[in-house]
Structure 1
Amino acid sequence: MSRQPTFTNIIHLRDFIDAITDDPTRENAPNYIEIQTDINIFEEDGFCSPNIIAEPIRTRIHVYLTQEERDLYVSNTFFYAEGRFSTALSTDDTLEINIQTLSLMRYYRRHLPEQWCPMATVIGSVLSRNDNSLDPSELRHFTVETSVYDTSKAAPVQFSVVCFLENTNRWKRVKTPPSGTFLSVTAKVAGRTAGTNHLALRVLDLAYLPKPVSAAATPTPTATPPSKRSSRWEGRAAPSTPSKRLRLLEPANDAADPSEMDTTPPEPKRGGSDLNTEHNTNSPSARPSPSIIANAEDSSLTSVPSLTSDSATRPHRNRHLPKKYAELD
């Protein structure tokens, strides 16, 4: 099911209250108020066009007020209001502006500001039109279609506004936005258009925007990404306890070439605590303990290839035995 996109179209106005009543769009809600006023339109800087009718526009402002606050907003009170707005035609084909107030403030008589036209910001798409039908003497203009969400109706309200460009040096080289363009327009309310009864806006600034994604398009299903915490353990090796024998064999593969090593056997040291070779091999009491043999096997020297040929006798290392074995000598 397609869904009409909604935008945040904002209007700023300040004028006098004509009447204040309970909001007819909200039943059994006494604190919801409707302020009625005909906002005044003023011609500025000679901006005029036969396609624009500069007359007051009927406006209905929906706002939430407590009873104490409501007593402050009486007829002929000057106020400022800001809120989301939309336009529609009443039963007598009169243009109306409906505002859902975001901010409301009253002025005292001694602090009345100068005359000022309402300002609006509208976001929407440019409708197609025939440029050949425009009179070159008239102001260039384009129609923007937009919509806002109406909370009282719980549905989007679609409407259009007509934007006019001045015949000034600022806008002389600016091209009229083509149809289908998505943009944001900041403008002053200039009145209503003749014949179509659309809100007429005098453009102050415009900006091109990227087109929104259509709500009717079916989103492409995407796979749920795996949890980052669980993926941390991927690629790890299986837990195992390497044997001591494998550790001893691995360095042997990376050992240096025997031809590059020093093959001169070490000189036996002469000292009172040293044992001769014959005594080491023949005396059972002088043999080292099993723990010493195990430590010798763990040494990296066991992984070094033999420095002599198979027919010759392997050289013996002179080791200093622990003191308790040296006393047996």
Structure 2
Amino acid sequence: MRSNTTHPAIIHIRDFVEHVEPDPTRPGKGLSMQLRVLLNIPQRDIQSDDVEQDEIPTLIRFFNDSNQPDLYKANTFVYSSGSFLTNSSENEKFHIVLHAHNLDRHPGNEDDTESYFMHCPGAAQPVVTFLGVVLERGGELNAGPTLLHYRLQTTVYNSSTRSHHTFPITAYFKNGQRWANFPPLNINTHVFLTGRIFGLTKEHRQLAVITDDVHFLPAPNNHSPVTPSSTGKRKRIDRWSHRAGPQTPTNLPATSWTGSLPNTDPFHECPDIIEPDDEDEGTQITWPDTADERKASPQVLTPTPERRSQRQRKTSYADILAQSNHDL
């Protein structure tokens, strides 16, 4: 089963350099280098009859940004970690390819081999972390010469070819009580595993890793239907259309407010001639004030005068002339 996605697989090593050369996958780039290492696997008390513990050829590819070509040479002790993959073909023997994320050398003069080797740290098993899919199971826990193991498949990105690369790793479980209650791994189970390399399998020439920790992961759904939101340009949500409008009126011209209001200004009425009461000495004629007079004199609010129950009769201009002739 071939995975459609890639995941990182990380390895941590420390060992001696056998040979230094340019990176053959990046010709013409003088700062791209490759270190050849025979990865030492120290003898441990962990044994399985289908695993052989031997040195593993390893290629460390890195970019020499320090521009010091003599910094790394044969017999230099280096510390390195980064993404890795394994290769095995008819033309090439099994080997590990490490694309270094970081690379440091042990200080000292490597030409003085006796003193330099003495101060270098002891051999240690390389540590790996990777995500794998279970393909098959073998061996038994706490029974027989073959340890319980699972053959896993992992897919990583190969920066040398700029494509994904799939390779197998066999994870072993040490005898004892730690894994006695561990549930068996089903086929196609996705696990995130951390362990130490302790050799190569004899039959298929795969990395043999003794498991230190394992975590279950949900299987990715590669057959889920494509939704419109996952293809094309995502439509932007109009967040402003759902908000409430302003709560206070805006400043509009005065004409827009007064155009629809009723005319309540008493000065806009036609002039009326009020019929005098019996106490009045003469007839009173009222005229509206002009615009200049309204501006000059402040408007004072006065109580509304009491009116008669009967509507006042308007005096015509003929009545005014008749009254004038009568007075004469």
**Both proteins in one fold, TM over 0.5:** yes
CA change 1:104–1:241 in 2 (3 A) is farther
Counterpart amino acid of residue 167 in structure 2: F
2:239 corresponds to: 228
1:145 corresponds to: 153
Deviations 1:75-112 (A, max 9, x none): 01100110100011044562210011000010133641
CA distance in 2, matches of 1:82, 1:164: 22
CA change 1:3–1:116 in 2 (3 A) is closer
Counterpart amino acid of residue 135 in structure 2: L
CA distance in 1, matches of 2:3, 2:53: 35
Say which of 116, 121, 128 aligns to 2:124: 116
CA distance in 1, matches of 2:83, 2:203: 26
CA change 1:291–1:14 in 2 (3 A) is same
CA distance in 2, matches of 1:175, 1:69: 51
SS in 1 for 2:98: strand
1:190 corresponds to: 198
Q: Give unpaired runs (5+ residues) of structure 2.
A: 108-115, 251-255, 263-278, 286-298, 310-328
1:181 corresponds to: 189
Cα distance, 1:202 vs structure 2: 0.4
Please give the residue correspondences for 1:129-278 in structure 2 after superposition, counting only pairs within 5 Å.
129=137, 136-137=143-144, 138-214=146-222, 217-222=224-229, 224=235, 226-232=237-243
Cα distance, 1:144 vs structure 2: 1.4
Aligned residues: 256
Deviations 1:135-162 (A, max 9, x none): 9412100011111111110100101100
CA distance in 2, matches of 1:86, 1:179: 22
- Report the more deviating stretch, 91-100 or 147-156: 91-100
Checking the alignment, whether the CA contact within 8 Å between 2:3 and 2:155 is kept in structure 1 is: no
Cα distance, 1:218 vs structure 2: 5.0
SS in 1 for 2:228: coil
2:30 corresponds to: 30
Cα distance, 1:28 vs structure 2: 1.3
Q: Give unpaired runs (5+ residues) of structure 1.
A: 246-278, 297-312, 314-329
Please give the residue correspondences for 1:75-94 in structure 2 after superposition, counting only pairs within 5 Å.
75-92=74-91, 94=93
SS in 1 for 2:240: helix
RMSD: 3.7
2:291 corresponds to: none
2:60 corresponds to: 61
CA distance in 2, matches of 1:134, 1:203: 15
Please give the residue correspondences for 1:1-40 in structure 2 after superposition, counting only pairs within 5 Å.
4-40=4-40
Percent identity, aligned pairs only? 26
Q: Which structure shows the bigger proportion of residues in helix conformation?
A: 1
CA change 1:90–1:53 in 2 (3 A) is same
Cα distance, 1:30 vs structure 2: 1.1
CA distance in 1, matches of 2:68, 2:184: 46
CA distance in 2, matches of 1:232, 1:90: 66
Cα distance, 1:168 vs structure 2: 1.4
Cα distance, 1:219 vs structure 2: 2.4
Checking the alignment, whether the CA contact within 8 Å between 1:20 and 1:35 is kept in structure 2 is: yes
2:274 corresponds to: none
Deviations 1:7-62 (A, max 9, x none): 01100000000001001111111110011011001132x10011111001010111
CA distance in 1, matches of 2:242, 2:177: 62
Checking the alignment, whether the CA contact within 8 Å between 1:141 and 1:176 is kept in structure 2 is: no
CA change 1:71–1:181 in 2 (3 A) is same
CA distance in 1, matches of 2:200, 2:10: 18
With normalisation by structure 1, the TM-score equals 0.67
- Report the more deviating stretch, 17-26 or 203-212: 203-212
Cα distance, 1:241 vs structure 2: 7.7
CA change 1:92–1:56 in 2 (3 A) is farther
CA distance in 1, matches of 2:165, 2:93: 17
SS in 2 for 1:170: coil
Deviations 1:201-259 (A, max 9, x none): 00011111122342x6552113735221333258x9xx9989879xxxxxxxxxxxxxx
Checking the alignment, whether the CA contact within 8 Å between 2:84 and 2:98 is kept in structure 1 is: yes
Checking the alignment, whether the CA contact within 8 Å between 2:195 and 2:212 is kept in structure 1 is: yes
- Report the more deviating stretch, 205-214 or 165-174: 205-214
CA change 1:9–1:161 in 2 (3 A) is same
CA change 1:9–1:64 in 2 (3 A) is same
